[in-house]
Amino acid sequence: MLTTPLALSSTVCGNQVFHWGSRTYVMGIINLTPDSFSGDGVGDDVDAAVARALRFQEEGADILDVGGQSTRPGHSPISVDDELRRVIPSLEAIAAAVDLPISVDTSRPEVARRALQAGASMLNDVWGAATATNLAPVAAEVGVPLVLMHNQQGTHYHDLVPDVAASLHAATQHALSVGLSWECIILDPGIGFGKTAEQNLELLRRLSDLRSLGRPLLVGTSRKSTIGLVLDLPVEERLEGTAATVALSIGGGADIVRVHDVKEMVRVARMSDAIVRGWRAAG
């Protein structure tokens, strides 16, 4: 049985402190892949990666998420060396150019360690709930936040939302057992990973059920195929669909939203926060 252990409190990430519950934080995606499903991968173009990071900072992002391994359906895995060659030069350049904390999207301890040395201050593992002890010791050693995302092979569930919650709870306990602090754990229900479109929609509809886990929730719906299926639109025309999912995720309790379109989703988050968390006119 899941219970709420401790208050969400705050999490230190690089030079920032995330005060959970005060507002929604926006994570801007920087794909260093040539085959990103969203069509915005910059590959090994360091200048393009830095330009995007600077633009996201200007548009109001709170954190950047840099990744060099595609996670789109049917992707071909790359070697550790290739992932390092993609990630480290751009990450170092981005860290030197912006004031925002940087998350690295990887499931490999070798990449995570090098990324932290290069300037990253958060680890984001798409297999985090399945292999919680994989990156947790690295995060614990350095004292950085770790995103544990639910993912699985196949889409069979006994009961979708309780199953996802149980998996995230188990991952949290494993991470704590290897020395990661409570404040450093962030949970992601894994929209679009190991789930059908119908399951993704149900999970979003019942997102508030995951608040019982007691940790901040990161939700990534941006441009994903579920939006395309519902609206019958290609990836480049999913802005409004993304906005709807971001707004409703915030209504369901999301603390971080991971997005491609930072300027627009910052506005969506601010408006949603005004409704969900309250707002008063200045003066």
Q: Report if residue 213 sits inside a domain.
A: yes
Q: Tokens at residue 32, please?
A: 């260093």
Residue 19 has pLDDT above 80, yes or no: yes
6 in any annotated domain: no
* Residue 35 binned pLDDT confidence (cut-offs 50, 70, 90): low
| Average of per-residue pLDDT values in the chain | 92
CATH number for the domain that contains residue 254:
3.20.20.20
Global pTM? 0.93
Counted domains in the chain: 1
Domain that holds residue 55: 24-274
Catalytic choice (86, 108, 114, 258): 258
In a domain, 189, yes or no: yes
Active site residue 263: no
User: Cα separation of 97 and 90, whole Å?
Assistant: 10
pLDDT band at 134 (very low <50, low <70, confident <90, very high): confident
Task: Dig out the tokens for 104 from the structure.
Answer: 């690295």
Active-site residue flag, 223: no
Of 52, 86, 215, 224, the catalytic one is 224
Instruction: State residue 33's pLDDT score.
Output: 85
pLDDT (tens digit per residue) in 66-117: 999 876 655 567 899 999 999 999 999 999 999 999 999 999 999 999 999 9
Residue 18: its pLDDT value, please? 97
Locate tokens 């996670």: which residue? 71
Note whether residue 45 is domain-resident. yes
Structure confidence at residue 7 as a pLDDT band (50, 70, 90): low
CB 101 within 8 A of CB 14: yes
134 domain residue, yes or no: yes
